[in-house]
Structure 1
């Protein structure tokens, strides 16, 4: 029963993430190399400030406060979609347990105006992933996209498959 309930949530979040991706036609090309400790690009100052505040609020004050505050940087965000995102993240958090911390998975820079940060979120029950895309149309960074999913373990397992290709 619990496994079926969890699988249903996993499927719903996958669908929700896909819908968020599809709903906005803008896309950016990113560099394919994964960031490592030795080659990781330097943190983008304005973006890092937003991220630090987000994770502090996510931990201490909850999803709603963290998501609402980071999206205050984006004046064009649809509040209906924002509410849906908060509900989806909170629903999953109730299943995967208490938030324990984060690890940077990767940072990509498409240009001086578009960057992406992906984090592994450590929860008691299982890992999750949160990916932030920031855009700087003029002088200030604003959140452009926020993705949340729990399939990071599935992707890692899939990447280990033998494909027969060099």
Structure 2
């Protein structure tokens, strides 16, 4: 009887810790943290392959599309110089299951923006969409013009 209680207690603890790491946006932030760790240590390909692997629909989709994004980003970033870090620009929780995070990567030549959209269809967070662009200058100027 006591052994059953111990097993149930251990299972409950494991389930609770699993849920807390995926609660609200904790799971999406875990994905982001690992993504940037891989990006800095192993490069674009490793980081994007990991991010796409969090979503079985993206992972099982067209490998050509994934490789195209990876190759374009690799080629583009080689022209930007050294990566000097990254920081969160904006995070917006649409609701408890959908969140958007925008990060600025600080390269020598110019900043690069990564936008991640995460979705939690059940228990686990997954990457729903990934985009990158350099349109931050235009948006900055437009936001200043609108506020005057």
2:32 counterpart residue number: 51
SS at match of 2:129: strand
Q: State whether residues 25 and 96 of structure 2, in contact with CA within 8 Å, keep that contact through their aligned partners in structure 1.
A: no
Q: Work out which of the residue numbers 138, 141, 144 in structure 2 matches 1:154.
A: 138
Higher relative contact order (CA 8 A, sep 6+): 1
2:46 counterpart residue number: 65
CA RMSD of aligned residues (A): 1.6
Q: Work out which of the residue numbers 114, 117, 137 in structure 1 matches 2:121.
A: 137
SS at match of 2:116: strand
1:34 counterpart residue number: none
Larger helix proportion of the pair = 2
What 5-or-longer segments of structure 1 have no aligned partner?
A: 1-42
In structure 1, distance between residues paired with 2:96 and 2:25: 9
What 5-or-longer segments of structure 2 have no aligned partner?
A: 1-23
Count of matched residue pairs: 122
Deviations 1:22-69 (A, max 9, x none): xxxxxxxxxxxxxxxxxxxxx821111110110011111100000001
Q: State whether residues 109 and 116 of structure 1, in contact with CA within 8 Å, keep that contact through their aligned partners in structure 2.
A: yes
Larger Rg belongs to:
2
Offset at residue 157 of structure 1 (A): 1.7
Q: Work out which of the residue numbers 105, 114, 134 in structure 1 matches 2:89.
A: 105
Q: State whether residues 127 and 153 of structure 1, in contact with CA within 8 Å, keep that contact through their aligned partners in structure 2.
A: no
Q: State whether residues 84 and 108 of structure 2, in contact with CA within 8 Å, keep that contact through their aligned partners in structure 1.
A: yes
TM-score scaled to structure 1, two decimals? 0.69
In structure 1, distance between residues paired with 2:47 and 2:67: 12
Offset at residue 161 of structure 1 (A): 2.1
In structure 2, distance between residues paired with 1:73 and 1:88: 21
2:75 counterpart residue number: 91
| Structure 2 CA distance for partners of 1:94 and 1:115, relative to 1, 3 Å | same
